[in-house]
Chain A
């Protein structure tokens, strides 16, 4: 008995330029916000961008984007992601709505493989993947199934978050996966500590800058047009430059 689905995943992503997994070993560090803002920023620059929320048990990009419940992918020899704010958007939320999705590891893997196998992304410059926290099933499956995946790691200034990030970086290093760099999110005004930057460099990784903690981000949730006017704006522009190779 052979599961045929994995064999088509490479083909489904054949016309996708880069696949960037926005991830963190730790939860609550702002992955979804950064992933969504980065996708919106790249789309605003004229790139064709997909956003794939693979945080199946705790999805939030649909809330950030203000996706209404009547938005659905189109059926055409698979599933064609709906166009949301200029993004090709895919999420398990299309199929569960507001209901909880209590999935164990094997179910997470199966759902991920299913969506990778049937989603017709078409031509994309970037596919931004909003990852669940941790280094579990979703990370291992994407590493196994999406050969061109690269990781953008998000941490907060907390050493608790960074300790877990270290484990994630070690794992990705062992697996030979490319890490674009580390972003320090939610940095408070009074915190000028260079610890995260120093520690990131010690790991041999690139420190991609800090995003200031901004209480106004909460007001931009559900209003994607406002997201890049928050403290996310400038750092996201810098991240776009990193991705485009035109540096910070």
Chain B
């Protein structure tokens, strides 16, 4: 379950940010997951809820999806990625390391593997809300 490892990194990162921001508790963490990595929000949420501690103990996790846009560096065409046409093994490889998309996906116009993952790569921490220390 790759989602568990990512959840752990989200929790550690959110805790660090909360401490830097002098929060005494975190009420909500907003996470953005890019379609390219095909992270399963229910598994991610379950892992987050299972492992949360410290300032995040009472936090609600808001998980938003982001479309993946790929942009060819050769011909400039941009397109929205869809995992639907990929076989299971390929989709799984991209799930573990999204950059391996360059080994499987080509520009629909010029067939180049030299494209930029412009948006929606993986997991991002978008926002943290909480109660600030009053001093």
| Given A8-B8, A102-B114, A117-B6, CB of A95 within 8 Å of CB of B13 | no
Assess the A11–B12 pair: CB atoms within 8 A. yes
| Given A102-B113, A111-B99, CB of A75 within 8 Å of CB of B12 | no
Question: B5 — which chain A residues lie within 8 A by C-beta?
Answer: 8, 77-79, 117-118, 120
Shortest Cβ distance from A90 into chain B, in angstroms? 11
Question: A1 — which chain B residues lie within 8 A by C-beta?
Answer: 32, 124-126
| Given A2-B17, A2-B124, A118-B2, CB of A8 within 8 Å of CB of B12 | yes
Interface string of B1-36 (1 = CB under 8 A from A): 110111011101110110000000000000010000
Assess the B122–A114 pair: CB atoms within 8 A. yes
Assess the B1–A103 pair: CB atoms within 8 A. no
CB of B131 closer than 8 Å to a CB of A? no
- Bound Cα distance from A7 to B13, whole angstroms: 6
Shortest Cβ distance from A120 into chain B, in angstroms? 7
Question: A122 — which chain B residues lie within 8 A by C-beta?
Answer: none
- Bound Cα distance from A95 to B97, whole angstroms: 8
CB of A110 closer than 8 Å to a CB of B? yes
- Bound Cα distance from A7 to B125, whole angstroms: 12
Assess the A76–B1 pair: CB atoms within 8 A. yes
Shortest Cβ distance from A37 into chain B, in angstroms? 27
Q: Counting chain A CB atoms within 10 Å of each CB, which of B32, B102, B104, B124 scores highest?
A: B102
Among candidates A7, A75, A103, A108, residue contacting B9 with C-beta atoms closer than 8 Å: A7
- Bound Cα distance from A104 to B74, whole angstroms: 13
Assess the B12–A78 pair: CB atoms within 8 A. no
Question: A108 — which chain B residues lie within 8 A by C-beta?
Answer: 99
Segment 87-117 of A: residues with Cβ below 8 Å from B: 92, 94-96, 99-104, 107-108, 110-111, 114-115, 117
Interface range for B:
20 to 34
Q: Counting chain A CB atoms within 10 Å of each CB, which of B14, B97, B122 scores highest?
A: B97
Assess the B100–A5 pair: CB atoms within 8 A. no
Assess the A92–B97 pair: CB atoms within 8 A. yes
Question: A92 — which chain B residues lie within 8 A by C-beta?
Answer: 97, 100
Assess the A96–B124 pair: CB atoms within 8 A. no
Segment 1-31 of A: residues with Cβ below 8 Å from B: 1-8, 11
CB nearest to B124 among chain A residues: A1
Assess the A8–B103 pair: CB atoms within 8 A. no
| Given A1-B124, A8-B12, CB of A101 within 8 Å of CB of B2 | no
Interface string of B96-131 (1 = CB under 8 A from A): 111110111000000001100100011111100000
Question: B117 — which chain A residues lie within 8 A by C-beta?
Answer: 107
Shortest Cβ distance from A111 into chain B, in angstroms? 4
Assess the B125–A96 pair: CB atoms within 8 A. no
- Bound Cα distance from A6 to B125, whole angstroms: 12
Question: A114 — which chain B residues lie within 8 A by C-beta?
Answer: 96-99, 122
Assess the B102–A4 pair: CB atoms within 8 A. no
Shortest Cβ distance from A231 into chain B, in angstroms? 35
Assess the A78–B2 pair: CB atoms within 8 A. yes
CB of B93 closer than 8 Å to a CB of A? yes
Shortest Cβ distance from B43 into chain A, in angstroms? 11
Chain A to chain B: the 5 pairs with minimum beta-carbon distance, closest first:
A78-B5, A4-B13, A8-B9, A77-B4, A95-B93
Q: Interface residues, chain B, CB within 8 Å of chain A?
A: 1-2, 4-6, 8-10, 12-14, 16-17, 32, 93-94, 96-100, 102-104, 113-114, 117, 121-126
Listed by A's residue number, 17 A-B pairs whose Cβ atoms lie within 8 Å are A1-B32, A1-B126, A2-B13, A3-B122, A3-B125, A4-B125, A5-B122, A77-B5, A78-B1, A95-B96, A96-B93, A103-B102, A104-B114, A110-B99, A115-B97, A118-B5, A118-B6
